[in-house]
Structure 1
Amino acid sequence: MTFNQLRAFLAVAETQALRAAARRLNVSQPAVSKAMRELERQLDVCLFERHANGVVLTDYGHAFRRRASLLIEEMRRTHEEMDAIRHGTEQSLSIAVSSAIALSVLPVAFEAFRQAMPRSQVHFSEGVMPMALAQLRDGSVDFVATHVLPGMVSEEFEVTHLFSTPVAVCARKGHPLARTRRLKKLVDAHWLAPGYAEENGDVLRQLFSQHGLPVPAQAVRCQSFTVALGLLSQTDTLSVLAEPMVRGTLNAQGIVALPLQDRMPVVAGIVVTRKGAVLSRSAQLFVQCLRDADAQRTHPR
């Protein structure tokens, strides 16, 4: 299959019409129809159902759409990397980063990367799970740097471990429960469930169930770190965040860790890549910078 076939397929999938796809690509409608017939013949499946008002993706079409997007991105990155080598320039990089990574190892890693590749363009997005994995799956990002509970990343991805850290229950300074020492006294509190929980209350379920306690009923899932910070600092909600974040950067924002005596779950800081994917030189370097930054943090000279 060719780049033009993939591009035509994605245009048809997005517009749901051969004529509209042809206009978008600035080619003739027969050319788009021919590309679709050739693609279906090569794959030996029916990608579309044709109707009077346009086309609709079949199950094969939906599955192939995900693959086609990834193939297009890989082709683009391949051409970009070849051009970078040819002209002595540096390749752009797209990374999804979670809040715990952003507030711990990312600043040092980014500074080291920028010194090594000063002309490389880096685009960061918020690495909220599971959306970040969807971005990785379709090729929108080169890799994901995030913090997760055990078992959250499936075997379809490759994982590089950076660090492990316990979580902390946190609240605003002056919160009525800020000095609470036992988890059982927090069951009826208002909670924000962190965005890296795949299901509402996932991390809270692990936290409370491991101590034989019921999961708080008043828990709101919050996938935005900015929203969580605003609510935590100005309302009487509680949440669970990586301990270094709470005791470091967030403490200056008026967020404190509760002095709980109960054992806390552990989250892992990891780098996630597509299994079998060949990272670009810039991506490989940034991953190494993250690992070096964590080594400096945990074993300072």
Structure 2
Amino acid sequence: MKLNSLRDFLTVAERGSLRAAARSLGVAQPALTRSIQELERELGVVLFERRARGVHLTPMGEVFQRRAASVRSDLRRAQEEIDQLRGETHGHLTVCLSSVPHIALLPNALRPFRTRYPKVMLNVIDAVFPRVEASLLDGTIDCYIGPPPEEIPGETAMEKLFDNTRVILGRKGHPLAHARSLRELVDAEWITTSITHKAEEELGPLFAKHGLPAPKLVMQAQSALSFLVAMAYSDMLMMLPVQWVQFPLWRDVLAVIPVEEVLPAPPVCILYRTGLPLTPAAEYFCDMMRRASMHMHTLAD
């Protein structure tokens, strides 16, 4: 199987048409068609379903795309690893960070990383693990930093950076600002960050544990900007990691409602694929995030 065939296949899959892929690659469309046909003959399956408006992956094509994307990522990473070991400072690094490492770790890690690798293109994705699991496993993402999933995929390793806790947040001047227990917040409206279809999974068990009725969930969001705008311009509350209120940019907007109940939070961890070492740039980025996390232990003490 030729590497050019993988390149051609992935470009057609990403562009959605042979014509667009041929333009992108700078090759003649008939030559690209022959390349795809040869690949299909070699695999013994049909990879694309031809339609009036472009092409779509077949189920077999979708399976092959995941593997082909992983091969492409591994080859790119291998070239960049060799270059960086030779002293070069260029390349690409794609990381996924949840809100906590964005707020608490990245500010202290970004400057030293840029100083050490000024020519590396850093792509930062704002998400939690379930949304990027496939991308981590196929090599599109170098590493993920944030709360871990309930079950760690067999092809990944996990390293805990620090334990965490949550607080109740609302806008400055919130009418329930003087509440001191969850019981006083049973009539409040809540935003949930749950990414499942069962939004009550995040707050429901906490309220039930203290013998309280289910909270009134009126909004579901994953974006930090959505959280901030919604809380700043309404009376909705959120349960978020404590780092949110410690972040200087938001101190004048949000305030903690100091309830007496303990509000546990998942730890913050680094996850990466096993069996394939991180590039020097990726390892250095993780080291800077580890170093930044030591400050979190100091705060906890």
Give the TM-score category using the shorter length. Answer: 0.7 to 0.9
Shift, 1:5, TM fit: 0.9
Shift, 1:53, TM fit: 6.2
Superposed, which structure 2 residues align to 1:1-301 within 5 Å? 1-50=1-50, 55-86=55-86, 88-148=88-148, 151=150, 154-194=153-193, 197-199=195-197, 200-249=199-248, 252-299=251-298
Q: Which amino acid aligns with 1:193?
A: T
Q: Which runs of 5+ in 1 are unaligned?
A: none
Q: Which amino acid aligns with 2:92?
A: S
TM-score by length of 2: 0.84
Shift, 1:252, TM fit: 1.7
Shift, 1:11, TM fit: 2.7
Shift, 1:50, TM fit: 4.3
SS at match of 2:65: helix
SS at match of 1:267: strand
Q: Contact between 2:74 and 2:139, CA under 8 Å: does it hold in 1?
A: yes
Cα deviation code 1:227-275 (max 9, x no counterpart): 2112212310100110132245366233122121222122211112234
CA 1:45/1:214 → structure 2, altered by over 3 Å: closer, same or farther?
farther
* Distance across 1 between alignment mates of 2:271 and 2:164: 18
Q: Contact between 1:127 and 1:144, CA under 8 Å: does it hold in 2?
A: no
Q: Contact between 2:192 and 2:217, CA under 8 Å: does it hold in 1?
A: no
Pairs aligned (count): 299
SS at match of 2:49: strand
CA 1:143/1:32 → structure 2, altered by over 3 Å: closer, same or farther?
same
Shift, 1:7, TM fit: 1.7
For structure 1, which segment, 19-28 or 290-299, has the greater mean C-alpha deviation from structure 2 after superposition?
A: 19-28
Q: Contact between 2:129 and 2:144, CA under 8 Å: does it hold in 1?
A: no
CA 1:136/1:259 → structure 2, altered by over 3 Å: closer, same or farther?
same
Q: Which amino acid aligns with 2:245?
A: V
Q: Contact between 1:17 and 1:54, CA under 8 Å: does it hold in 2?
A: yes
Q: Which runs of 5+ in 2 are unaligned?
A: none
CA 1:88/1:17 → structure 2, altered by over 3 Å: closer, same or farther?
closer
Q: Which amino acid aligns with 2:221?
A: C
Q: Which amino acid aligns with 2:7?
A: R
Cα deviation code 1:150-206 (max 9, x no counterpart): 617544533221111111111112111122122133233211112x64443432234
* Distance across 2 between alignment mates of 1:119 and 1:19: 33
* Distance across 1 between alignment mates of 2:109 and 2:87: 26
* Distance across 2 between alignment mates of 1:187 and 1:250: 29
SS at match of 1:92: strand
Q: Contact between 2:89 and 2:117, CA under 8 Å: does it hold in 1?
A: no
CA 1:52/1:232 → structure 2, altered by over 3 Å: closer, same or farther?
closer
Q: Contact between 1:193 and 1:202, CA under 8 Å: does it hold in 2?
A: no
Root-mean-square deviation (CA, aligned residues, Å) is: 2.9
Percent identity (aligned): 36
CA 1:265/1:206 → structure 2, altered by over 3 Å: closer, same or farther?
farther
* Distance across 1 between alignment mates of 2:212 and 2:103: 31
Q: Which amino acid aligns with 2:284?
A: L
Q: Contact between 2:84 and 2:90, CA under 8 Å: does it hold in 1?
A: yes
Q: Contact between 1:136 and 1:144, CA under 8 Å: does it hold in 2?
A: yes
* Distance across 1 between alignment mates of 2:17 and 2:125: 32
Q: Which amino acid aligns with 1:226?
A: L
Cα deviation code 1:119-146 (max 9, x no counterpart): 4443323234533435434544321222
For structure 1, which segment, 97-106 or 136-145, has the greater mean C-alpha deviation from structure 2 after superposition?
A: 136-145
